[in-house]
Structure 1
């Protein structure tokens, strides 16, 4: 359990909570959240001359302003891959269960997101053109490369 305090324009980059459930509550302020879930079965692109990426679908794209309900991120849905930027000073209470534990496969990974149209895939899935903005390709990265 932890409380994060953010000054205006603070950013938590796109990251995950693998195998974990996260309960979040905005205590004060406003926080736009953009979150993804992995597309199942996994759709990956490993084109020559490119880095590996995996397809994700937009799950949440909204502004959370206190007072508001509790958000729940499940291991496989609800926006477990997410990022946010504080638009006002704000604080968020997070309860993570089980906790991070690298030797149990619960290590936080950071990602860069790319538009659906940025990469082709051998097993190209059919997405209606008007829904392409609901999908993104995510590539794992180090936090200092964001």
Structure 2
């Protein structure tokens, strides 16, 4: 019984630390210091967690699970490129696992007013992070007239690859808040914490974007990939080749 007690699992400790980190401060004077200390503790816990702690078994390239010996449960029509395992959610944060099939991507999207941490459980992901520029350089009138009003001036801050041996990828409301996540060299899974959770009624809805080069309007793949490159970013509807299914979470129960 002790083996399955929630408090003994690192997932439980991560959830408890996330709750402490992101709950509203009781004393404004120490809020910033307290947040940074707790944020650092949460990041350290995420650095330690591994797939086995969540009872995750790496998928094969065809999506099957070696441990079960059977393919994933079927979905109507084409299977989703990405699935989500819900672990827990409070008013302060949500936590779950995203599983990406080989070659799948979570398109460029934002997290309005939200903090986030992403820790790879198995496989490899490439994450491209962008920031909005509050005071755009250059003349917005230089943008194509048909797209004006839907464009954002942004900067590509970083592009990096993460594995289970990497530390977590961290985002904040004003840093690395927009990002794209691509599965590299096979299927992958990552633990994801967002604080507070998405809530369209409270102004935290997910928006999708397409990156254009500043001068010629080419897509990112056609433009030179440079760190700190300023680009036009156009808001778009959810890409038709991306949707997310659901799977049951097999790991230790979390109690909050």
After TM superposition, the score normalised by the length of structure 2 is 0.48
Where does residue 199 of structure 2 map in the other structure?
Answer: 101
- The superposition leaves residues 65-110 of structure 1 with CA deviations (integer Å, 9 ceiling, x where unpaired) of 2211011100111x11111210121101101000111121101000
Q: Counterpart in 2 of 1:140? A: 235
Bigger Rg, which one: 2
Q: CA deviation at 1:56?
A: 0.6
Partner of 2:31: none
How far apart in 2 are the matches of 1:132 and 1:14?
A: 17
2:215 counterpart SS class: helix
Q: Match for residue 12 of structure 1?
A: 106
Q: SS where residue 103 of structure 2 aligns? A: coil
Q: Which residue is 1:25 aligned to?
A: 119
Which structure shows the higher helix fraction?
2
Unpaired runs of 5+ residues, structure 1, are 120-130
In the alignment, is the contact (CA less than 8 A) between 1:21 and 1:98 conserved in 2?
yes
Instruction: Compute the displacement of 1:32 (Å).
Output: 0.9
TM-score (norm 1): 0.82
2:179 aligns to what? 82
Structure 1 runs of 4+ with >4 Å offset:
none
Query: Residue 132 of structure 2 is aligned with which of 30, 38, 41?
Result: 38
Structure 1 counterpart of 2:211, from 113, 132, 140: 113
State the alpha-carbon separation in 2 of the partners of residues 100 and 55 from structure 1: 23
CA RMSD of aligned residues (A): 2.1
| Distance across 2 between alignment mates of 1:95 and 1:106 | 15
Unaligned ranges ≥5, structure 2: 1-94, 218-225, 242-256
Q: Does the Cα contact within 8 Å between 2:158 and 2:228 map onto a contact in 1?
A: no
The structure with the largest strand share of the pair is: 1
Higher mean C-alpha displacement, 43-52 vs 6-15:
43-52
Q: Secondary structure at the match of 1:144?
A: coil
Matched residue of 2:145: which SS?
coil
Cα distance 1:98–1:33, how it changes in 2: closer, same or farther (>3 A)?
Answer: same
Query: Partner of 2:254 in structure 1?
Result: none
For these two proteins, the number of residue pairs brought into alignment is 134
